[in-house]
Each structure stands twice: as structure tokens, then as C-alpha cells.
Amino acid sequence: MVISGPSGVGKGTLCKALLEEVKDLSISVSMTTREPRKGEVDGKDYFFVSREEFLERVKRNEFVEWAQVYGHYYGTPWSELKNALEKGRDLVLEIDTQGAMQIKEKFKEGVFVFILPPSREELRKRILKRGTENPDSVKKRLENFQEEFKYIFEYDYVVVNDSIPDAVEKIKSIYMAEKCRPHRIIKSWKGE
Ligand code: 5GP
């Protein structure tokens, strides 16, 4: 399940709550060249690497998808998908629209969810409140929202994050409903 949406919309909080409630789900840990924010842990929030190392890994085809976002590289390592598959777990990818479109090309069975803020103004407030971005970075993140918004109809579902518990409930319902689609049930059904 791919979850995208603008920076500051609360994707991280929603994914964390979702994982606590749905035991079959794991979250993919991305690799990035951006600096860790205060409190972020290497190997848990991201794998933090240098640009050189990231580009070496691109050459070695180590990413399912990768993209440049706000001047930094971000990518989903193949190893994250393989680990989840081996354990028989479903995987949540919290990635931008460029990455989501690459996943859509590769995995027809993916489920794509876009998280929207209640309004543009609310998004600006949330980015400012987080206090981790400088004014230039806040501006970049708002501009990027305009770009990402253009891809909204490529997604299967849109969830407006006006209240965290409600938004989590909606994503959970999407996950549950998708698990009941005939092609997914028949794959593991032992009736034959
Ligand atoms: P942040 O720096 O705020 O953690 O993330 C910035 C943006 O990069 C967010 O939109 C986030 O979803 C996206 N992102 C995080 N990991 C990946 C990844 O592995 N691939 C892609 N394409 N985007 C990612």
C-alpha cells in the first residue's frame, strides 16, 4: 500500500497509528541523503547515507523506486520488499508521487492512497508548527504540493486528514476492503 501526500500532512503520524492497529502491516524504511532531523533514528526512520553511496546503490539497481525530493535523494530498497514478502506481511510505502508512479508501473496490485490536508492554509500551519524547516524549505514544500496534487487522480483513494483517528480508520477500512478483493482471496483460499 502506497501512501503519498504533501509534506506536513501527517503521513508519518497516520502510518505509525495504522501499524499499531493492523498487525499484518510493516512499514518500508527508505534510504535518503537528507540530514536526520532531531530524534530520527538511522535504520528506523530512514537509512541515512551520503549522495555518493546512494548513487552507487542506484547503479547497482538496489532500489525499487527512487526520486529526488527537495534536493535530496530518497529510495525504497528492494530488501524492504523482499523482507516483507518472506515474512508474508503487507508493506506500507510512504513515498512521494514520483516514486508512487514508478511503483504503479511495476506492481499492478498496489493500492494507492493520497492524504490531503483539510485546506492549503492548514497545511502551511502544520509545516510551520513542526518547526523543522527553514522559510525556504517551507516555501519549497508548499510549491511541491501544487505539483503532487496534479497526480491525485492516479490514486485509488483520497483521505482528508482532518482528524487523526478518523483518517486512520479510513485507511484501515481501505486496507480491509482491499484484502477482500476476489483476486487476493482466491490466491490463498484453500477450497480447491
Ligand atoms: P521528509 O524529508 O519530510 O521525511 O520526506 C520528504 C518527502 O519524501 C515526502 O513526501 C516523503 O513521502 C518522500 N519520501 C520518503 N521516502 C521516500 C522514498 O523512498 N521514495 C520516494 N520516492 N519518496 C520518499
> What's the burial of 52, exposed, middle or buried (CB within 10 Å: 0-12/13-18/19+)?
exposed
Q: Is the dihedral of CA 60, 63, 68, 70 positive or negative?
A: negative
Cβ of 155 below 6 Å from ligand 1? no
Grid cell, residue 107, equals 506492481
Grid cell, residue 54, equals 546512494
Cβ atoms < 10 Å from Cβ of 185:
11
* Tens-digit pLDDT profile for residues 12-31: 999 999 999 998 899 999 99
Report yes or no: 11 and 100 within 8 Å, Cβ to Cβ: no
Q: How far is the CA of 74 from the centre of ligand 1 (A)?
A: 6
Cβ of 33 below 6 Å from ligand 1? no
Ligand 1 atom closest to 98 (CA): 22
* Tens-digit pLDDT profile for residues 107-154: 999 999 999 999 999 998 888 887 777 888 888 888 889 999 999 999
Report the range of poorest mean pLDDT among 29-33, 87-91, 185-189: 185-189
* Confidence class for position 175, pLDDT limits 50, 70, 90: very high
Domains and CATH numbers, the chain: 2-189 (3.40.50.300)
In angstroms, the CA 81 to CA 13 distance is 22
pTM of the entire predicted model:
0.93
Report yes or no: 21 and 104 within 8 Å, Cβ to Cβ: no
SS (H, E, C) 3-37: EECCCCCCHHHHHHHHHHHCCCEEECCCEECCCCC
Ligand 1, residues 11, 29, 30: which to mutate, most atoms within 8 A of Cβ? 30
Q: How far is the CA of 183 from the centre of ligand 1 (A)?
A: 30
